[in-house]
Amino acid sequence: MSRETLLPLMAAHVLEHGLGGASLRPLAKAAGTSDRMLVYHFGNKKTLIVELLDHIAGIYSAALDMALGDTRPSSRRECFDRVMEQAADPAMRPFMVLWWEIVAGAARDLPGYEVAAQEMIARQLDWLIRQMPADDPDPEGGARLLLTLMEGSLMLGTVGHAKTARDGLLASDLSPS
């Protein structure tokens, strides 16, 4: 059992139970090993978490690649609505919950958190650019705008202000300027 075998199992555990309370022994049990072996393979907990975050960022990228739509939207607003609908999928909820924990860790400068978050956002932006309307005059700028709106809306959603974000969006013009 090597690092590569253990990481996906631990990632699954973290997706379900969170990063904050992730201690060696539960992590080990989820991976079918002992805390002793986790330290043996990764040296210490800090570097384990760093590698785990990197691995999770990889999982997220792969999940995005799987979710490429086959038809392109005809407007930025339709694109936004589609992506938001997909983010609301219950299957995405563990990712969502973990995501805010990663953001919090990045804000507090915990090692590995910011790089992982940065990677995940970069992937999401790439993905979004490919999802933009085919005739959009500025797909990069549009994707960046939609990403900002999306993340703001998702955050407001998780703290019980989904309606606030929705109403704000209704009063806005997403079309290219």
Residues near a second copy (CB under 8 A): 18, 20, 96-97, 99-104, 106-108, 114, 117-118, 121-122, 125, 138, 140-153, 155-156, 158-161, 164-165, 167-177
Cα Rg of the chain (Å, integer): 18
- Tell me: does residue 24 bind DNA (CB under 7 A): yes
- Tell me: does residue 20 bind DNA (CB under 7 A): no
DSSP state of 132: S
161 binds, among DNA, a second copy, none (CB under 5 to 8 A by kind): a second copy
Candidates 44, 148, 172, 175: give the one binding DNA (CB under 7 A). Answer: 44
Residue 133 CA, chain-centre distance (Å), reads: 23
- Per CB under 7 A, the segment of 23-31, 62-70, 91-99, 160-168 that binds DNA is 23-31
Rounded CA separation 89/51 (Å) = 27
DSSP state of 73: -
- Mind giving me the DSSP string for 74-94? SSHHHHHHHHHHHHTSGGGHH
111 binds, among a second copy, DNA, none (CB under 5 to 8 A by kind): none
- Tell me: does residue 25 bind DNA (CB under 7 A): yes
- Per CB under 7 A, the segment of 44-52, 56-64, 74-82, 140-148 that binds DNA is 44-52
Residue labelled with tokens 């009063």: 171
- Per CB under 7 A, the segment of 26-34, 50-58, 146-154, 163-171 that binds DNA is 26-34
Which has the closest alpha carbon to 58: 113, 19, 116?
116
Kindly tell me which of 9 and 169 has the beta carbon lying closer to a second copy: 169
Closest contact distance (angstroms) between CB of 11 and a second copy is: 17
Q: For the range 9-16, what are the long-range contacts, defined as Cβ-Cβ under 8 Å and sequence gap of 24 or more? A: 10/52, 11/52, 11/55, 11/56, 11/59, 14/52, 14/56, 14/98, 15/56, 15/94, 15/95, 15/98, 16/94
Q: Pick out residues in 45-74 that bind DNA (CB under 7 A).
A: 45-46
| Residues in contact with DNA by the rule CB under 7 A | 1-2, 21-26, 33-37, 39-40, 44-46
